[in-house]
Amino acid sequence: MKDTYEKTVISKATIDRLPLYFRNLRLSQEGGIEIISSEELGRRLGITPEQIRKDLASFGQFGKKGVGYYIKELISNIGKILGLDNNWHLAVIGVGHLGWALANYSNFDSLGFKLVAMFDTDPNRIGQCIKGIPVSNLNRLKEVMQEQTIHIGIIAVPEMYAQEVADQLVAAGVRGIWNFAPLKIKVPDTVRVINEDLSVGLSSLSFYLARQTQIR
Amino acid sequence: MKDTYEKTVISKATIDRLPLYFRNLRLSQEGGIEIISSEELGRRLGITPEQIRKDLASFGQFGKKGVGYYIKELISNIGKILGLDNNWHLAVIGVGHLGWALANYSNFDSLGFKLVAMFDTDPNRIGQCIKGIPVSNLNRLKEVMQEQTIHIGIIAVPEMYAQEVADQLVAAGVRGIWNFAPLKIKVPDTVRVINEDLSVGLSSLSFYLARQTQIR
């Protein structure tokens, strides 16, 4: 299967929908469902069944016509496509409220991500533990990263420090950055960045509510 | 313009991209840029210029051929389309680390959202203030909502309490729910729900890193 999807050009929109499929299929599985049609999955996600069939067909043949998708198999395959079988090691930089919440977020564990380090500059924070992992002084970033592999750095520091932290993560050899600071950080092409903007979800909700207001 | 887009059927994918456009245009504006081409905007977002032109054309004529989009005008128009001019009132339910971080998230203010109430059941939390807003006892939800309009409830409680809180929000007359609990909550059709799953961003990052690994 690896061969199939490596040769295919996949749109960013499709990639962004895969975690949504993954998440919803897991919820369905927890609800005891074993087989799901593209129509039902589409209804749950607000995506057309055609789009779902097209997205999943980019990666191989997962469904059976007239029956649907076998959920267990589909979850395993999407997991592989998403690379969740790599057991990525995470570090949280900036253990304020957001960083603390992220470090505690149980969904990450269930997807195979592993928190291995946390960093802050606040002496009151340094030494505190989450899941048995202590908060280290940020000035020990490179040192800690040499002791243990960190694939992904999660930036949860205030905006004014985000670029500096990104530079330190890059220098320490991180592969990917998940950035919560409302700022476009600059990194070399070899490092992947996903910018998370929490206002996107809230703005979508605003859109739907505004249209309800106008229509009623 | 309202007429134009009320009569158009807009895909969910387009709606989901609007806040991304809005956010990026605001960053460009803060960087002193006044005009942007669909090519440049596309490059920044990883979306094709054709897709951007198609998305924005669903709502009206915002650009000038061969020149680009006037950023200020486009921001204002997308803001109206997203309904951000409604000055939605927000309440956060569950003021743990995530709820606290959300209540403090400055991007919401800059988009015109206003935090008006917070609720928790923890006696140590009740009475604490963020931005001058006190945390109220959750059992006062209906009462507080009668005193002041709350349009959107943000659920940041543990999964096991999420449905109960959703029911209370619905009973108290909330219009929309932004749900951070990893659970599909059930609400009447008249209430809009956006489920936020923080693992989606991290999963996308995993996808890109896994492909780098395979390709190199």
| pLDDT above 90 coverage of chain A, percent | 55
Contact A151, A83 (CB under 8 A): no
According to DSSP, the residues that pair with B64 across neighbouring strands are B68
- Interchain pair A207, B23: CB under 8 A: no
Q: HSE, CB side, 13 Å, CA atoms: give it for residue B172.
A: 26
CATH code at position B67 = 1.10.10.10
**What gap in Å lies between CA B58 and CA B71, rounded to an integer?**
17
* Residues B97, B183 share a domain: yes
**What gap in Å lies between CA A72 and CA B108, rounded to an integer?**
38
Determine, yes or no, domain membership for B191: yes
* Residues B116, B161 share a domain: yes
Q: What's the token pair of residue B123?
A: 């006696």
Express each pLDDT in B132-172 by its tens digit. Answer: 999 999 999 999 988 989 999 999 999 899 999 999 999 99
Closest CA to B177 of B151, B145, B157: B151
Domain count for chain A = 2
Largest CA distance in chain B: 61
Angle between helices A12-30 and A71-81 (to 10 degrees): 140
Residue to test with chain A: of B88, B199, B206, B212, most A Cβ within 10 A: B206
* Residues A71, A168 share a domain: no
- Interchain pair A82, B207: CB under 8 A: yes
Determine, yes or no, domain membership for A57: yes
Residues 6+ apart with CB under 8 A from B127: B134, B135
- Interchain pair A176, B208: CB under 8 A: yes
Q: For residue B146, which phi and psi values (nearest 5 degrees)? A: -80, -30
- Interchain pair A199, B86: CB under 8 A: no
* Residues A77, A101 share a domain: no
Q: Which of B60, B84, B108 is the last residue of a domain?
A: B84
pLDDT < 50 positions in chain B: 1-7, 215-216
Determine, yes or no, domain membership for B206: no
Q: What is the ipTM of this complex?
A: 0.84
Express each pLDDT in A126-151 by its tens digit. Answer: 999 998 999 999 999 999 988 989 99
* Residues A101, A190 share a domain: yes
- DSSP-derived letter for residue A152 is E
* Residues A178, A128 share a domain: yes
* Residues B102, B183 share a domain: yes
- DSSP-derived letter for residue B120 is E
Residue A41 has pLDDT above 80, yes or no: yes
Q: Is residue A136 within a helix (H) or strand (E), and if so which, with residue range?
A: strand A133-137
- Interchain pair A105, B208: CB under 8 A: no
Closest CA to A27 of B98, B193, B197: B197
Which residues from chain B sit within 8 angstroms of residue A106, using beta carbons? Answer: 182
Determine, yes or no, domain membership for A209: no
Q: What pLDDT is attached to residue B8?
A: 55
Which residues from chain A sit within 8 angstroms of residue B178, using beta carbons? Answer: 201-202, 205
**What gap in Å lies between CA B137 and CA A41, rounded to an integer?**
38
Among the ranges A85-99, A201-215, B33-47, B183-197, which has the highest mean pLDDT value? A85-99
**What gap in Å lies between CA A127 and CA A136, rounded to an integer?**
6
Which residues from chain A sit within 8 angstroms of residue B183, using beta carbons? Answer: 27
- Interchain pair A108, B202: CB under 8 A: yes
Distance from first CA to last CA of chain A, Å, rounded? Answer: 49
Q: Which of A69, A84, A99 is the last residue of a domain?
A: A84
